[in-house]
């Protein structure tokens, strides 16, 4: 069957208004240092040599400072490094120079000490102008239908709308991948150790679209937002009083498959955000960088909370892998496999129990040296307006921070209980393995003894008795009897 899609058909194309544009001035990446990954991070700090360029401005290097902070409970934070590209022509006495991906001009890295065993490393990547607007270029680019191959399957036709979704989301993912890869190399931690994606949050600034409009977003504009990766619209909005006129959105893999897990964004209309924050006039520079600086001063604590959720999801997946591996290999009872399972279980158990204690202490302390922006979840403005017009009772906004904390507490409890059960199972498997190994050793000893007997008998037969061997004497005897 032949198909012909019209460029003007909103069901088969993405229509972005000509006067609507988007920019990403900053991206945040969060890595976690647990008891089993802190040493690798310290070695990376030595390799990076970021302290070398600032030796006249700081009395302690980062490795020593990290060790001191991790030796005490309690939350605190410090500036780990400010890294500029080696191609930067300027001079900053407090900044270290290092190779950066071409999309970024500067990286500000902070360390947040959650507890004695948990440190969060939050890096803010400031994008170059071309990179900041690369997603806008992909968003506005015209699209044609494509034939897409998948392995050995027959090619399938991809309509322009799907092509636009794919290409725009890939443009955004390209920025995320560059930041995540640099972070994994320079600041390795829990996620990098397990080859998992770190938490990423980017700042999306729109030119005209107001996400707080009182009218429902139309389907054609919803499709355009989906191309970016914004899909949770027209029902519930997540906002914080500390970050006015900005909305929090989380990537939904089913609707934005080109974007990776543990990806969130803050987005809003540029001028509306600037008008809602009087202190922007003191920042200087561009509005985009002023917004990024403001967000960086209020979002760190909340990003740590989200990263802890990512930690739990990785731990849960790793426990599942260990369970399946133990099930598939239980008949072999190889000592090497059991040791590997035991080492993996010990690593996960140590990280889980330590992080659980630190998170509980972190949340129980009202004092902190940094703020955790409170986010609320409530209906969209147009739904609230309709409810008021119809006289329906409005639903009270829900505290998103509390909901996340409750869910994480339940997950910690479930994983701690599972960890206890898995360790008991592992002990049983090890005991059975030792018994099987003992039986195997006994069988091998029996075969060795039998072989020794055969060798001894053969030696006896060929031994000489007088002028002839034992074997010849036996044969002569048998012949005489016969």
Same domain, 343 and 459: no
Same domain, 390 and 429: yes
In 345-476, the DSSP E strands lie at 375-379, 398-399, 464-465, 468-469
In this structure, is residue 375 part of a structural domain?
Answer: yes
What confidence score (pLDDT) does residue 1 get? 44
DSSP H helices in 124-232: 129-132, 134-140, 160-186, 190-193, 219-228
DSSP H helices in 270-299: 270-275, 287-296
What confidence score (pLDDT) does residue 444 get? 76
Residues 6+ apart with CB under 8 A from 263: 176, 197, 199, 200, 201, 202, 229, 250, 251
In this structure, is residue 104 part of a structural domain?
Answer: no
Three-state SS at 408: helix
Residues 6+ apart with CB under 8 A from 211: 233, 237, 247, 267, 268, 269
Is 333 exposed, middle or buried (CB count within 10 Å of its CB: 0-12, 13-18, 19+)? Answer: middle
Same domain, 349 and 471: no
Q: How many helices and strands (H and E) does the chain possess?
A: 14, 16
Tell which residue, 86, 83, 110, has the closest CA to residue 95. Answer: 83
Overall pTM > 0.85: no
What confidence score (pLDDT) does residue 367 get? 45
Q: How far apart are CA 9 and CA 255, in angstroms?
A: 21
In this structure, is residue 55 part of a structural domain?
Answer: no
Say which residue the tokens 């065993």 belong to. Answer: 117
In this structure, is residue 103 part of a structural domain?
Answer: no
In this structure, is residue 203 part of a structural domain?
Answer: no
For the chain, the domain total comes to 2
pLDDT in tens, the chain (482 residues): 455 555 555 556 788 989 999 999 999 999 999 999 989 999 998 898 888 765 555 557 777 778 877 776 545 788 888 999 888 777 777 788 889 999 999 999 999 988 888 999 999 999 999 999 999 999 999 888 888 877 777 888 888 888 999 999 999 999 999 999 999 999 999 999 999 999 999 999 999 988 887 677 777 788 899 999 998 887 888 999 999 999 999 999 888 999 999 999 999 999 999 988 877 766 766 889 999 999 998 999 999 999 999 999 999 998 888 777 666 655 555 555 556 666 677 788 888 988 999 888 877 764 455 567 899 998 887 787 788 888 888 778 899 999 999 999 999 999 998 888 777 666 666 565 555 566 667 677 778 878 777 777 666 666 665 666 666 666 676 677 76
Same domain, 456 and 421: no
- Provide the token pair at 63: 């490795």
Is 191 exposed, middle or buried (CB count within 10 Å of its CB: 0-12, 13-18, 19+)? Answer: buried
Same domain, 454 and 433: no
Secondary structure of 329-346 in the HEC alphabet? HCCCCCHHHHHHHHHHHH
Query: CB of 128 within 8 A of CB of 4?
Result: no
In this structure, is residue 215 part of a structural domain?
Answer: no
In this structure, is residue 346 part of a structural domain?
Answer: yes
Q: How far apart are CA 78 and CA 60, in angstroms?
A: 12
In this structure, is residue 335 part of a structural domain?
Answer: yes
Secondary structure of 55-104 in the HEC alphabet? CCCCCCCHHHHHHHHHCCCCCEEEEEEEEEECCCCCCCCCCEEECCCCCE
Same domain, 397 and 422: yes
Question: Residue 459's domain spans which residues?
Answer: 448-481
What confidence score (pLDDT) does residue 171 get? 96
Separation of first and last alpha carbons in the chain: 96
Residues 6+ apart with CB under 8 A from 35: 117, 350, 351, 354
- CA distances for 12 relative to 138, 157, 172, 429, angstroms: 17, 12, 22, 57
Same domain, 430 and 361: yes
What confidence score (pLDDT) does residue 179 get? 97
Query: CB of 267 within 8 A of CB of 211?
Result: yes
- Provide the token pair at 420: 């206890």
Same domain, 432 and 461: no
Same domain, 333 and 396: yes
Same domain, 423 and 342: yes
Same domain, 319 and 399: yes
Same domain, 357 and 388: yes
């Amino acid at each position: 069957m032949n198909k012909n899609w019209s460029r003007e058909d909103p069901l088969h194309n993405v229509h972005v208004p000509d006067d609507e544009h988007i920019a990403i001035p900053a991206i945040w990446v969060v890595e976690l240092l647990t008891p089993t990954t802190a040493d690798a991070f310290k070695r990376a700090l030595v390799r990076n040599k970021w302290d070398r360029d600032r030796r006249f401005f700081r009395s302690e290097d980062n490795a020593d400072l990290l060790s001191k902070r991790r030796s005490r409970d309690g939350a605190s934070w410090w500036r780990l490094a400010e890294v500029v590209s080696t191609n930067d022509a300027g001079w900053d006495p407090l900044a270290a120079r290092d190779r950066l991906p071409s999309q970024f001009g500067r990286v500000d890295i902070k360390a947040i000490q959650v507890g004695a065993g948990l440190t969060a490393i939050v890096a803010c990547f400031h994008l170059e102008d071309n990179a900041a607007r690369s997603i806008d270029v992909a968003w506005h680019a015209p699209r044609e239908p494509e034939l897409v191959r998948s392995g050995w399957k027959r090619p399938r036709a991809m309509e322009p709308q799907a092509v636009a979704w794919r290409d725009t989301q890939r443009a955004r993912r390209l920025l995320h991948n560059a930041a995540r890869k640099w972070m994994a190399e320079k600041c390795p931690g829990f996620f990098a150790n397990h080859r998992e994606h770190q938490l990423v949050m980017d700042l999306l600034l729109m030119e005209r679209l107001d996400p707080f409009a009182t009218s429902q977003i139309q389907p054609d504009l919803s499709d355009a937002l989906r191309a970016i990766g914004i899909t949770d619209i027209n029902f519930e909005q997540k906002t914080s009083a500390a970050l006015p006129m900005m909305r929090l959105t989380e990537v939904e893999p089913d609707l934005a498959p080109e974007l990776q897990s543990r990806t969130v964004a803050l987005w809003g209309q540029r001028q509306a955000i600037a008008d809602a924050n009087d202190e922007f006039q003191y920042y200087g520079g561009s509005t985009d960088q002023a917004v990024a600086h403001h967000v960086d001063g209020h979002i760190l604590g909340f990003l740590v909370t989200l990263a802890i959720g990512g930690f739990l999801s990785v731990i849960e997946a790793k426990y599942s892998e260990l369970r399946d591996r133990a099930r598939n290999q239980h008949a072999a009872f190889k000592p090497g496999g059991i040791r590997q399972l035991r080492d993996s279980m010990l690593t996960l158990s140590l990280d889980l129990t330590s992080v659980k204690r630190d998170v509980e202490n972190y949340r129980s302390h009202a004092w902190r040296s940094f703020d955790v922006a409170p986010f609320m979840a409530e209906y969209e403005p147009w739904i609230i307006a309709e409810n008021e017009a119809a006289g329906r009772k409005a639903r009270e906004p829900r505290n998103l921070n509390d909901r996340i904390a409750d869910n994480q507490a339940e997950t910690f409890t479930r994983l701690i209980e599972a960890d206890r059960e898995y360790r008991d199972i592992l002990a049983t498997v090890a005991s059975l393995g030792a018994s099987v190994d003992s039986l195997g050793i006994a069988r091998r000893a029996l075969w060795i003894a039998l072989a020794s007997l055969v060798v001894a008998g053969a030696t006896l037969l060929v031994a000489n008795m007088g002028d002839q061997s034992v074997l010849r004497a036996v044969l002569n005897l048998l012949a005489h009897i016969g």
